[in-house]
Amino acid sequence: MLVKSAEFVMSNSDVAKCPKNRMPEYAFIGRSNVGKSSLINMLTNKKSLAKTSGKPGKTQLINHFLINKNWYLVDLPGYGYAKVSKSSKKTFQKFITQYFSLREQLVSAFVLVDIRHDPQPIDLEFMQWLGENGIPFSIVFTKADKLKPKAIENHIENYKSILLETWEDMPNYFVTSSSKDIGKEEVLGYIETLNGNMELSNI
């Protein structure tokens, strides 16, 4: 897929105020320091579309970006490690849960995971929640440029072994690096395929 246009549409904390049209949505979420904004900017070819920051927890709202005039990329607040108050974290958790539970336009979520680290309970628990609630998702391993190929392979195998303790199959996954454009074509191609399948189902 070639991204020809990417524009910010709205930010809010109320799912009821999200765009009313029926365009497909793809939600990106992960821990606060996982490199989500950088990945979004890489995918959309815009260096400052999503705000990046040295401070974790920059994204604190549901952010909708319209891509190619026909689908939305949704940037959701990071979970874990954000230096915000407990009340703010509860608010984030509430509208994130509401977004996934109520947003019928959502086609798939992308759960971002830093490939350098061992599987974290907070990530595994969130994936478990998505699975239990029947929400399709893919894992996006970020920061692949920080490891050598063999180390990447070992980390993914480690993830597989842990996930397959509770999952029948390993969820769909991508290996990416925002600084090296690794995985860009694969992620966008997957979204393009899902969009195409939706169009066929609507015929």
**pLDDT for residue 42:** 96
The per-residue pLDDT string of the chain (203 residues; one tens digit each, 9 = 90 and over) reads: 999 999 999 998 889 999 999 999 999 999 888 999 999 999 999 887 876 544 444 457 899 999 999 999 999 987 764 455 565 556 657 788 899 999 999 999 999 999 999 999 989 999 999 999 999 999 999 999 999 999 999 999 999 999 999 999 999 999 999 999 999 999 999 999 999 987 656 54
- For residues 128 and 46, the answer to whether their CB atoms sit within 8 Å is no
Q: What is this structure's pTM?
A: 0.90
**pLDDT for residue 58:** 46
- For residues 71 and 25, the answer to whether their CB atoms sit within 8 Å is yes
